[in-house]
Amino acid sequence: MEPLPVEFYARDTVTVARELLGTLLVHITAEGTTVGKIVETEAYLQGDPACHAARGMTPRNSVMFGPPGRAYVYFTYGMHYCFNVVTAAEGVGEAVLIRAVEPLVGIDLMRQRRGRERLHELCAGPARLVQAFGITKEHNKTDLTRGPLFIAPAPDEPPEIFTTTRIGIKEGADLPLRFYIKGNKFISKK
């Protein structure tokens, strides 16, 4: 599996959020390799009030301003990390939150990291998938075009996509910027 090139990420953020569906999130670690199909994403745009870059660049969100194809990992609610993919042109603060992944490879390792047995509970939600994949704050700013944490092209035909509003936010909650594979049982919430 080869990582997606930087050109994939250096495009319109909504397009990238949609086209990430069906691609493979891969993390190769000393503990083992985990792979999952991305089944749910949310786009965060620079002018969007829910976007971390809405008020400009800060030390926390600076990675969102580029270059594209980097990981933006941040701590939220005082207890969880979330994994985002930086998109758009350098200088534009945008990213795609990876909300849910369908586990494919390294399921026993994911179960160990999560302390859960049920397959659906491993990666159905942004905090869950970060824990299952062993993604930490040290992965912030990682170049996703080089590995060992990367996203590989979709092995299947483009999926049927359902578009809806984002969840877990107050501002900008009415914007239709959440995308998921229609009928997939591993999404975080219908």
DSSP-derived pairing of the beta strands 80-86 and 24-29: unpaired
Contacts of 77 by beta carbon, 8 Å cutoff, 6+ apart: none
Q: What confidence tens digit (pLDDT) does each residue in 87-116 have?
A: 999 999 999 999 999 999 999 999 999 999
pTM summary value: 0.96
Calculated CA dihedral for residues 41, 136, 89, 177, nearest 10 degrees: 20
pLDDT number for residue 76: 81
In contact, 168 and 80? CB cutoff 8 Å: no
pLDDT number for residue 77: 67
Domain membership of residue 86 (yes or no) is: yes
Least confident segment among 77-81, 137-141, 173-177, 181-185? 77-81
Domain membership of residue 190 (yes or no) is: no
Distance of CA 144 to the CA centre of its chain: 11
Q: What percent of the chain has pLDDT over 90?
A: 80
pLDDT number for residue 69: 98
Domain membership of residue 88 (yes or no) is: yes
Distance of CA 152 to CAs 49, 83, 111, 188, Å?
Answer: 30, 16, 22, 22
pLDDT number for residue 190: 74
- Which CATH number belongs to the domain containing residue 173 in this structure? 3.10.300.10
DSSP H helical ranges for 12-150:
13-19, 107-114, 120-123, 126-132
Domain membership of residue 187 (yes or no) is: no
Domain interval for residue 64: 6-181
Q: Which of residues 155 and 33 earns the better pLDDT score?
A: 33
User: How many separate domains does the chain show?
Assistant: 1
| Whole-number Å distance between alpha carbons of 190 and 164 | 9
Q: What confidence tens digit (pLDDT) does each residue in 174-183 have?
A: 899 999 999 9
Domain membership of residue 1 (yes or no) is: no
Which regions of 106-184 does DSSP assign to beta strands (E)? 149-152, 161-164, 178-181
| Whole-number Å distance between alpha carbons of 15 and 143 | 20
